[in-house]
Amino acid sequence: MKNLLYIFFVCSSPLFFAQNASKEQLISNLPELEITEGINLHIISPEPIQYVDLSTDKLTGDLPNPNIARLKITENEVEVNSIQSEKTKEPNSFLSGDQIGIITVVGQSFIAQYKAVYRDKKNLNVITNIHIQPEDMQPIELDKTTFSYLELKKFAMNIVQKNIEKNPIREEKNLKLTMQLNNVYVMSDYIFLDMTFKNNSNLSYTIEALKFSIEDKKIYKATNNQSIELKPIFQLNSQKHFKKNFRNIYVFKKFTYPNSKVMMIRLIEEQLSGRTIEMKVNYSDILKADTF
């Protein structure tokens, strides 16, 4: 495990904690996190963590989840028998209250820093997890055209709260399946697709993949078709199984394509059943997108 941890994630407005922002942060003013040997400390972030920096090799950790950093005190190992090369663990020589490092957590729209303070493992009050609080966050100024994970989630939730129109923009039916493009929305440089999938059979549906691509309009099924895959940068729900109805919001960075091509959306079921349904979306449907 490395002290400097990176994950790649697509780039929450920091307004709710902007009043707590300052240009400088003094070590003496940093909030304290207590940590002890043999116990992992989990730091839970409200948005995906971009990286974590640990200032000393006394601490180590990893990212088991995009929103969780797991830290612990590094275990010291010293060689006690050079002939047999046997190793044994030696306790850390820390005193309760010693500062053993600075923990820096960087999200998409904030940076939070803490002082790691050692507590004797006999102390039963040592915490095992904390949530990063707004007062601990310093906002990172984002490009005005860039939205964070929290903002995209908020926008998607606003869309879901809207009633689905009786006449969707596009609808396809096959094998007792229905795929609907309820509406298209735009916000800045982002495109939101509001979609519903209906299963009209008594056999539940397990999603293997939902694929988006740009393909030739007239020969999109041909083997020589040039296909460009599109990947959503965000989706509201990640469930892979539904019985009757499933509605979801898929978000893309702005894209364009000529009239000679279409966006293909394919819903593919896990084998062996293999029920598949697909829909083509003209660029004119995207151009008619609503705002919210």
Query: Do 16 and 100 lie in a common domain?
Result: yes
Residue 189 lies in a domain: yes
Sign of the CA dihedral with 116 first, then 3, 62, and 44 last? positive
Alpha-helix residue ranges (DSSP H) falling in the chain = 149-160, 283-287
Start-to-end Cα distance in the chain: 44
pLDDT range class, residue 157, cuts 50, 70, 90:
very high
Identify the CA nearest to 71 among candidates 21, 107, 111, 117: 117
Domain boundary among 141, 159, 176: 141
Cβ distance 189 to 145 under 8 Å? yes
Query: Do 115 and 173 lie in a common domain?
Result: no
Query: Do 203 and 76 lie in a common domain?
Result: no
Q: What is the secondary structure of 145-204 as a DSSP string? A: T---HHHHHHHHHHHHTSPPPSS-SEEEEETTEEEEEEEEEEETTEEEEEEEEEE-SSS-
Please identify which residue in the block is written with the tokens 């998409």: 108
Domain boundary among 141, 173, 191: 141
Is pLDDT larger for residue 102 or for residue 273?
102
pLDDT of residue 191: 94
Residue 95 lies in a domain: yes
Q: What is the CATH number of the domain that holds 188?
A: 2.60.40
Mean pLDDT of 61-89: 68
Q: Which two tokens stand for residue 133?
A: 């609080």
Q: Which two tokens stand for residue 100?
A: 């053993």
pLDDT above 50: residue 1 = no
DSSP label at 279? E
Query: Do 137 and 8 lie in a common domain?
Result: yes
Query: How many Cα atoms occupy the beta-carbon half-sphere of 227 within 13 Å?
Result: 17
pLDDT of residue 73: 92
pLDDT above 70: residue 50 = yes
pLDDT range class, residue 164, cuts 50, 70, 90:
confident
pLDDT above 90: residue 91 = no
Query: Do 117 and 36 lie in a common domain?
Result: yes
Query: Do 196 and 282 lie in a common domain?
Result: yes
Burial (CB < 10 A; 0-12, 13-18, 19+), residue 170, is middle
pLDDT of residue 149: 84
Query: Do 43 and 125 lie in a common domain?
Result: yes
Query: Do 124 and 159 lie in a common domain?
Result: no
Q: Please tell me the distance from the alpha carbon of residue 181 to that of residue 196, in angstroms, as a whole number.
A: 7
pLDDT of residue 151: 86
Whole-prediction pTM value? 0.60
Residue 109 lies in a domain: yes
Cβ distance 48 to 108 under 8 Å? yes
Residue 19 lies in a domain: yes
Q: Which two tokens stand for residue 54?
A: 């640990």
Domain boundary among 123, 141, 159: 141
Residue 74 lies in a domain: yes
Is pLDDT larger for residue 77 or for residue 157?
157
Q: What percent of the chain stands above pLDDT 90? A: 45
Least-confidence region, from 84-98, 170-184, 202-216, 227-241: 84-98
Mean of pLDDT over the chain = 81
pLDDT of residue 79: 38
Mean pLDDT of 222-239: 82
Q: What percent of the chain stands above pLDDT 70? A: 80
pLDDT above 60: residue 257 = yes
Quick check: helix, strand or coil at residue 249?
Answer: strand
Query: Do 131 and 162 lie in a common domain?
Result: no
pLDDT range class, residue 219, cuts 50, 70, 90:
low
For 94-143, how does the pLDDT look when each residue is reduced to its tens digit (9 = 90+)? 888 899 999 999 988 889 999 999 988 776 677 889 999 988 988 886 65
Mean pLDDT of 19-28: 59
Query: Do 204 and 99 lie in a common domain?
Result: no
Is pLDDT larger for residue 125 or for residue 238?
238
Instruction: Specify the number of domains making up the chain.
Output: 2
Mean pLDDT of 148-158: 89
Residue 164 lies in a domain: yes
Q: Please tell me the distance from the alpha carbon of residue 15 to that of residue 2, in angstroms, as a whole number.
A: 33
Query: Do 171 and 199 lie in a common domain?
Result: yes
Cβ-Cβ contacts under 8 Å for 204 (sequence gap 6 or more)? 241, 242, 243
Q: Which domain holds residue 194?
A: 151-287
Residue 292 lies in a domain: no
pLDDT of residue 140: 80
Query: Do 128 and 67 lie in a common domain?
Result: yes
CA angle, corner 137, sides to 151 and 147, nearest 5? 20
Residue 146 lies in a domain: no
Mean pLDDT of 16-26: 50
Distances (CA, A) of 38 to 49, 119, 128, 131, 271: 24, 11, 11, 21, 44
pLDDT above 50: residue 75 = yes
